[in-house]
A and B are shown apart, each in its own frame.
Chain A
């Protein structure tokens, strides 16, 4: 019916500010505002009234909608101005969070209209998460409802600090002060429990226009701001330049077209500031380098880059890093690095979150498999009731729990830096939940990771880059691990492969386990608790040295499993490794790059590994 209503790009028609003054408004930022509340408590009416009373509607629109209502013998409602889509017209509810643009004399606003119906909580979250301030609407006649509380809880978890509560439909309770007071008292008590300190409580009537754009004569007992005055007193989100520098690595670009040799680390700066010459560390790998340049297109040369900017930098020392690492600055506060975390989570998925099931966690630019390890308590966001013996997190529940990820990630804790402590959970291709990290817990690899981070941090860079060595030696440094059950021909294969590559002129070394056990490992007591782990850690560290020297290193290991491999990967880049399994069946939970099921001879197996290396570009493949 009104689906052609265009509510965007509206300018006040009797706005008498001069062109020059308007450009000042442009310099002030737009404010993103969300309007939340229980279904039918009058969010759309309040917005409709705001648009109408500030002359923000297209010319004739109000009259047109009124006329249509008259012709259809339907009472006019301000909400009709908004519900732009047919679906909404049919059901009379806001399905999704629409964006509505409007101006006051003070600045521009984008209103995100968040649906009140519980079925659309995910849409409410979508709208609210981007807001800088929120209006929470409560029906004076119906009082505080389930979603009034639930939405407040969500706003608090989403990190929205500026909240004003509108007690709407005051006309229905004859503008009665004591009834209003009762609602205010009840809701304030609830908000206090979830750490929200509302900036204002305003009694209004969207339908009649009381206290929306002008002071109501029906409620002389109210001395506070009108809704419009409250909007203009909200502040824009402050960018956190005074905190530690953080930039999740979005990608590494090297576009060689036209001789462009820049290798650019791209990402958006989340906090702090970075200058050319600053020493930087990437977490969780702990790799270190120095900022060589700050890159940009169609902009003057920059010496520094700060919070909010989508940017790119190049590094002095070339190091191998990938998307998902968190770029930080040497000398500033380090992020946390672990694969186990205690979190607060809210669940939006149709299917509940279950223990043991595999999900994906996305935080910043990192994406990793995750499982619900322990469910400590589930909280009903609508009444704050807690349950401690639940086995799953249901739709619209809030919970405190422990998550275990497949690999360590870098993050900050909630309360320290919001942007790097927030994550979402993906279930079956859909974002099904979101949460904030409350505590970093230790995991089985913590001890190794800390050592590796320290090693990388202290690492003395040679003047010869890895790429240079690779070019000179005509090979990519690589760790080849040959695994399988006892006596399947691992060692003979390894030795045959070493000889074959050596004869081809490659820099290659076979590291016998015995050589390591009785040398580097001589101080580890056999049978000590962490014997196997410490052995693998040292193997990985020795491998790392050999790889840094540019060699192809061949080792053998009996029945390598995923946790052994994870340990090695903590110290050696997984992209520098090839895992080969000998024998008809892979007896461990491990992903191999090559599985040789039919062992014929050490020479044959070695040949097949050589082909793998050629295929992967580790060594050159002749025509």
Chain B
């Protein structure tokens, strides 16, 4: 059994544990490579079906192609697709692109706040109607008690400390010093009312594993990851104003794998194109404690 197969099996096992143990479970999908691999793993775990809702936090500043890709796959794979957003911040223009907030504050508003309130059901959720292909306001406002998230331990320091099943309290807070033990494939699936659990099936995967798996399984990816002739591509996707493409002529998955293994990116951190990571020393960790992915 090779390395990718081992990773796949463990992730599937975790997804099935989550599905069996949580009544109100959802999976976050950012349309990026990691969460799309996770979505693919869910189709594997459940034999071609995705029996749980996918939640996307729409900042309204994502690169438009991402949203198009999201809706195409949602229809094609019959996904129970839901999105949430911070309508108020967008309306009052409390954002970085509007010049009213700095990047970290903007992430907090459009991502962390939107996520918190979408998960706990206090802000509207929009669910795709497969007959019309349009989104409709959802009636159900039950909070999600289990949230599957595609973070990887190798992304940066704070993520390397995560558990597969990581409890968050009522305020979404993450207590890094008091995490539950995990051993012998037994996870924290019992929890006090008011808390929810983040489930991380991709914790052991590296960026290279992800691309090699995409190649092996032929998983469709948004074309922004590939050079389309201008010598630029995105290595990591986010909001348009804060994510820049990298100089690269990788045109397909094979090229990307080579670039990561022996080429120009073998020594450069993946998120180097993300501005919010650079704002201050503990920016990302502070954001994550606060509920950021």
Q: Please, which residues of chain B bring their CB within 8 A of the CB of A531?
A: none
A29 vs B212: C-alpha distance in the bound complex, in angstroms?
Answer: 15
User: For the complex, is A320 an interface residue (Cβ under 8 Å from B)?
Assistant: no
Instruction: Choose the segment among B9-17, B60-68, B224-232 that binds chain A (4+ C-beta atoms closer than 8 Å).
Output: B9-17
Indicate if the CB atoms of B270 and A9 lie closer than 8 Å: yes
Contact with B along A264-295 (1 / 0, CB 8 A): 10111000000000000000000000000001
Q: A86 is contacted by which of B5, B16, B282 (Cβ under 8 Å)?
A: B282
User: For the complex, is B161 an interface residue (Cβ under 8 Å from A)?
Assistant: yes
Cβ < 8 Å to A, chain B residues 232-289: 258, 260-262, 266-271, 277, 281-282, 284-285
Known: A95-B176, A96-B176. A255 touches B191 (CB 8 A): no
Indicate if the CB atoms of B184 and A422 lie closer than 8 Å: yes
User: For the complex, is A106 an interface residue (Cβ under 8 Å from B)?
Assistant: no
User: For the complex, is B23 an interface residue (Cβ under 8 Å from A)?
Assistant: no
Indicate if the CB atoms of A122 and B181 lie closer than 8 Å: yes
Q: A158 is contacted by which of B177, B183, B217, B285 (Cβ under 8 Å)?
A: B183
Indicate if the CB atoms of B156 and A4 lie closer than 8 Å: yes
Known: A85-B285, A250-B16, A348-B181. A101 touches B47 (CB 8 A): no
User: For the complex, is A459 an interface residue (Cβ under 8 Å from B)?
Assistant: no
Indicate if the CB atoms of B262 and A251 lie closer than 8 Å: no
Instruction: Choose the segment among A199-207, A308-316, A575-583 that binds chain B (4+ C-beta atoms closer than 8 Å).
Output: A308-316
Q: Residues of A within 8 Å of B, CB-based: how many? A: 74
Q: B176 is contacted by which of A85, A250, A255 (Cβ under 8 Å)?
A: A85
Instruction: Choose the segment among B38-46, B112-120, B142-150 that binds chain A (4+ C-beta atoms closer than 8 Å).
Output: B38-46
Q: Please, which residues of chain B bring their CB within 8 A of the CB of A87?
A: 176-177
User: For the complex, is A27 an interface residue (Cβ under 8 Å from B)?
Assistant: yes
Instruction: Choose the segment among B28-36, B90-98, B132-140, B201-209 that binds chain A (4+ C-beta atoms closer than 8 Å).
Output: B201-209
Distance from B191 Cβ to chain A, minimum over Cβ atoms (Å): 5
Known: A95-B176, A309-B9. A130 touches B46 (CB 8 A): no
Indicate if the CB atoms of A429 and B190 lie closer than 8 Å: yes
Indicate if the CB atoms of A4 and B44 lie closer than 8 Å: no
Known: A251-B19, A266-B16. A4 touches B277 (CB 8 A): yes
Contact with A along B176-205 (1 / 0, CB 8 A): 110111111010101110000000000110
User: For the complex, is B155 an interface residue (Cβ under 8 Å from A)?
Assistant: yes
A375 vs B184: C-alpha distance in the bound complex, in angstroms?
Answer: 24
Q: Closest residue to B163 on the A side, CB-wise?
A: A126
User: For the complex, is A378 an interface residue (Cβ under 8 Å from B)?
Assistant: no
Known: A85-B176, A122-B181, A297-B47. A251 touches B281 (CB 8 A): no
Interface size class of B (residues with CB under 8 A): 35 or more
Indicate if the CB atoms of A96 and B161 lie closer than 8 Å: yes
Cβ < 8 Å to B, chain A residues 201-256: 239, 250-251, 253, 255
Distance from B146 Cβ to chain A, minimum over Cβ atoms (Å): 14
Indicate if the CB atoms of B163 and A362 lie closer than 8 Å: no
Q: A99 is contacted by which of B46, B154, B261, B277 (Cβ under 8 Å)?
A: B154
Distance from B3 Cβ to chain A, minimum over Cβ atoms (Å): 6
A87 vs B47: C-alpha distance in the bound complex, in angstroms?
Answer: 42
Known: A87-B177, A308-B9. A11 touches B47 (CB 8 A): no
Indicate if the CB atoms of A424 and B184 lie closer than 8 Å: yes
Indicate if the CB atoms of B44 and A250 lie closer than 8 Å: no
Q: Closest residue to B43 on the A side, CB-wise?
A: A297
Q: A8 is contacted by which of B48, B155, B182, B267 (Cβ under 8 Å)?
A: B155
Q: Please, which residues of chain A bring their CB within 8 A of the CB of B160?
A: 7-8, 84, 98-100
Indicate if the CB atoms of A431 and B208 lie closer than 8 Å: no
Indicate if the CB atoms of A255 and B270 lie closer than 8 Å: no
Q: Please, which residues of chain A bring their CB within 8 A of the CB of B267?
A: 10-11, 13, 58-59
Indicate if the CB atoms of A260 and B49 lie closer than 8 Å: yes
Q: Please, which residues of chain A bring their CB within 8 A of the CB of B20?
A: 250-251, 323, 365
User: For the complex, is B153 an interface residue (Cβ under 8 Å from A)?
Assistant: yes
Indicate if the CB atoms of B180 and A298 lie closer than 8 Å: no
Cβ < 8 Å to B, chain A residues 124-139: 125-126, 128-130
A110 vs B160: C-alpha distance in the bound complex, in angstroms?
Answer: 11
Distance from A15 Cβ to chain B, minimum over Cβ atoms (Å): 9
Q: Closest residue to B261 on the A side, CB-wise?
A: A22
Indicate if the CB atoms of B285 and A268 lie closer than 8 Å: no
Q: Please, which residues of chain A bring their CB within 8 A of the CB of B281?
A: 1, 3-4, 86
A7 vs B1: C-alpha distance in the bound complex, in angstroms?
Answer: 27
Distance from B21 Cβ to chain A, minimum over Cβ atoms (Å): 9
Indicate if the CB atoms of B179 and A96 lie closer than 8 Å: yes
User: For the complex, is B51 an interface residue (Cβ under 8 Å from A)?
Assistant: yes
User: For the complex, is A257 an interface residue (Cβ under 8 Å from B)?
Assistant: yes
Q: Please, which residues of chain B bring their CB within 8 A of the CB of A447?
A: none
Indicate if the CB atoms of A6 and B46 lie closer than 8 Å: no
Known: A123-B181, A125-B181. A255 touches B8 (CB 8 A): no
Known: A7-B157, A11-B267, A27-B2. A431 touches B186 (CB 8 A): yes
Q: B182 is contacted by which of A10, A100, A423, A431 (Cβ under 8 Å)?
A: A431
Indicate if the CB atoms of B266 and A95 lie closer than 8 Å: no
Distance from B252 Cβ to chain A, minimum over Cβ atoms (Å): 16
19 contacts between A and B (CB under 8 A): A3-B158, A7-B154, A8-B155, A9-B270, A26-B212, A59-B267, A84-B160, A86-B282, A87-B176, A95-B161, A96-B177, A126-B183, A128-B183, A297-B44, A308-B5, A308-B9, A423-B184, A429-B188, A431-B182
17 further A-B contacts with Cβ under 8 Å, apart from A98-B153, A431-B186, are A6-B269, A9-B260, A10-B267, A19-B258, A19-B262, A84-B157, A110-B204, A158-B183, A239-B1, A255-B49, A258-B78, A296-B44, A298-B40, A298-B43, A429-B190, A431-B188, A434-B186
- B residues contacting A by CB (< 8 A) are 1-3, 5-6, 8-10, 12-13, 16-17, 19-20, 40, 43-49, 51, 78, 152-158, 160-161, 163, 176-177, 179-184, 186, 188, 190-192, 203-204, 206-208, 212, 217, 258, 260-262, 266-271, 277, 281-282, 284-285
- A residues contacting B by CB (< 8 A) are 1, 3-11, 13, 19, 22, 26-27, 29-30, 58-59, 84-87, 95-96, 98-101, 108, 110, 122-123, 125-126, 128-130, 158, 239, 250-251, 253, 255, 257-258, 260, 262, 264, 266-268, 295-298, 308-310, 312, 323, 348, 360, 362, 365, 419, 422-424, 426, 429-431, 434
